[in-house]
Structure 1
Amino acid sequence: MVVVAKKYVVLRPFEGVPKESDFKIEEETLRDIEDGEFLAEAVYMSVDPYQRMKLGNEYPCDMIGGQIAKVVESKHPEYAVGAWVMGHFGWRTHTVAAPAAAASCAQQPYVYPLPDFGDLPPSLGLGVLGRVGNTAYFGLTQLCRPRAGETVVVTGAAGAVGSHVGQIARILGCRVLGFAGSDAKCRWLQELGFTAAANYTTADVRDFLKQHAPDGVDCYFDNVGGEISSTIISQMNPFGRIAVCGSISSYNETNKENCKATILQPYIVSKQLSMEGFLVNRFASRTMEGIAQNLQWVRDGRLKYREHIWDGFHQAPQAFIGLFSGANTGKTIVKV
């Protein structure tokens, strides 16, 4: 069977905000599968801010990313035809997958059968029940280590990771404050159970924290970086914990001299803060543990989610570009 896959190629390094002209769709004739392999057909593709930073140094290059796919042909005993899988296959319609090659892949786990979500949509395997959910779960519980009664602050709080982090903190008995980019997003965060939320484009961050965290901040989950993070960190309590997940405020800045923010070291030293960056791949061996816990919370009604779905393979660049203007609420996905 001859299969011609379509795939997105990034033509050049992004300069500033990504543009549709930075992408090109190409066709690729796939070879026949061999023993231990299967052919996957994409159903949903993931669109995430980290893709802006992780493409490497050689161009043109294939666009990276996770996808939920169906097995359409198989010579692998653990991947039957019709099975759902999550794979780091990139933005492409079809992939010849060799699970045994996962051991040498930098993005562990490279591919795995999607757990049984029951009546929940398989697209959640890219969001609350996948890499995004595990980023929130492990980043908060393993780095911030919040305790009941503490105050947790989340930036990028209406995004896929941030909205998840805030809900877990609430489940753990914490007060949760969120920052997002619109009043509508802030209203949604309060529907999710955030104690309070502020539109960072109009609110005074320091005044908001003084009002809603008068006793200081214990944990900070940082998705954006920049001056807002410096302000939050200045209001933290002694021995506070900071998990740095992203820095979306600077991703599209071509002149890094424009990314200056108040220095953090005086606060880190005087308050004896713990600040640690992380990648979810660190917890790859615990992937199913995170999914199982998040799935239980979803089924219990304690963890809610929102998907921002773009319809059609051709919509992927627009969906990606929209991330950097705050067009999404929750997890952005392209339905292939």
Structure 2
Amino acid sequence: MSAINAGCTASIGLEVVGEMSSGETVLVTAAAGGVGSWVVQLAKLAGNHVIGTCSTREKAAQLEVLGCDRVVRYRDEDLGTALKEEYPDGIDLIFEQVGGTTFDTCIDNVARRGRILICGFISEYQNGPQEVLAPRIYHKLLWKSAQLRGFLHSDWPDRFPDHLSRNIQLIEDGLIDPQIDPQPFLGIDEVVNAVEYLHSGKNTGKVTVQYR
């Protein structure tokens, strides 16, 4: 399941939509989640410097195990400040899944000719879109020749077979460690609880529901 959903979302997003190359600086928001943990590992395999955001020390430790070069725990330090101070030239490729002020920070810190890939906005899923009074963002993108790209993996069915086959091989070769959250959810009656658990931000890796 992780190779099908999270893995293909990560690989198609990075390589097809995000046009990832080697030697780039890549930022992954919600990096400890099911998709994010795949993105971190694939970006490292491609020879990139990877920054990941997460909430807790436990998640940060796991991201370091997966090869993250810099982990920003957003509850303990400001992401925008860290990026401005440590990456003054900006971020080449941003895999954004959080939305809200995290998205704003990504816009402010994308590199010249950089790409921001929107794969989700989990901070707004439960409460709906935030109403924001702020300058429009196109001038920030224009003066950097930066690009903002939306991505739904379901719009790329023709890419799934090749990416799935390769991702499974990466797992078998020990090059990717799919992260599955250990919290048990059993049966269809637990689906709502699983979704609420996901939205709580407590998960590390893919949240799954087992059917018997």
Provide Cα deviations, 1:76-105, integer angstroms capped at 9, x if missing partner: xxxxxxxxxxxxxxxxxxxxxxxxxxxxxx
Alignment check: 8 A CA contact 2:94 2:115 kept? yes
Matched, 1:333 2:208: yes
Measured on the aligned residues, the alpha-carbon RMSD in Å equals: 1.7
- Shift of residue 262 of structure 1? 6.5
Measured in 1, the distance between the counterparts of 2:119 and 2:179 equals: 20
Measured in 2, the distance between the counterparts of 1:134 and 1:260 equals: 36
Measured in 2, the distance between the counterparts of 1:299 and 1:163 equals: 17
- Shift of residue 134 of structure 1? 0.8
- Shift of residue 176 of structure 1? 0.3
Instruction: Name the SS of the counterpart of 2:127 in structure 1.
Output: coil
Which residue of 1 is the match for residue 196 of structure 2?
A: 321
Instruction: Name the SS of the counterpart of 1:331 in structure 2.
Output: coil
Matched, 1:149 2:23: yes
1:292-303 alignment runs, 5 A limit: 292-303=165-176
CA distance 1:215–1:230, shift in 2 (3 Å): same
Kindly indicate which of the two structures has a greater share of residues assigned to helix. Answer: 2
Q: TM-score, normalised by structure 2?
A: 0.91
- Shift of residue 261 of structure 1? 6.6
Which residue of 2 is the match for residue 288 of structure 1?
A: 161
Task: Structure 1: give runs of 5+ residues left out of the alignment.
Answer: 1-125
Which residue of 2 is the match for residue 277 of structure 1?
A: 150
Task: Supply the AA of the counterpart residue of 2:195.
Answer: F
Matched, 1:239 2:113: yes
1:3-42 alignment runs, 5 A limit: none
Alignment check: 8 A CA contact 2:185 2:194 kept? no
Q: TM-score, normalised by structure 1?
A: 0.59
Percent of pairs identical after alignment?
33
Provide Cα deviations, 1:280-334, integer angstroms capped at 9, x if missing partner: 1121122221111111211222211221252421322211101111121100001
Where in structure 1 do 4 or more consecutive aligned residues deviate above 3 Å? 259-263
1:250 corresponds, among 112, 124, 144, to: 124
1:158-197 alignment runs, 5 A limit: 158-197=32-71
Provide Cα deviations, 1:57-78, integer angstroms capped at 9, x if missing partner: xxxxxxxxxxxxxxxxxxxxxx
Task: Structure 2: give runs of 5+ residues left out of the alignment.
Answer: none
Task: Supply the AA of the counterpart residue of 2:47.
Answer: G
Aligned length: 209
1:35-184 alignment runs, 5 A limit: 126-127=1-2, 129-184=3-58
Kindly indicate which of the two structures has a greater share of residues assigned to strand. Answer: 1
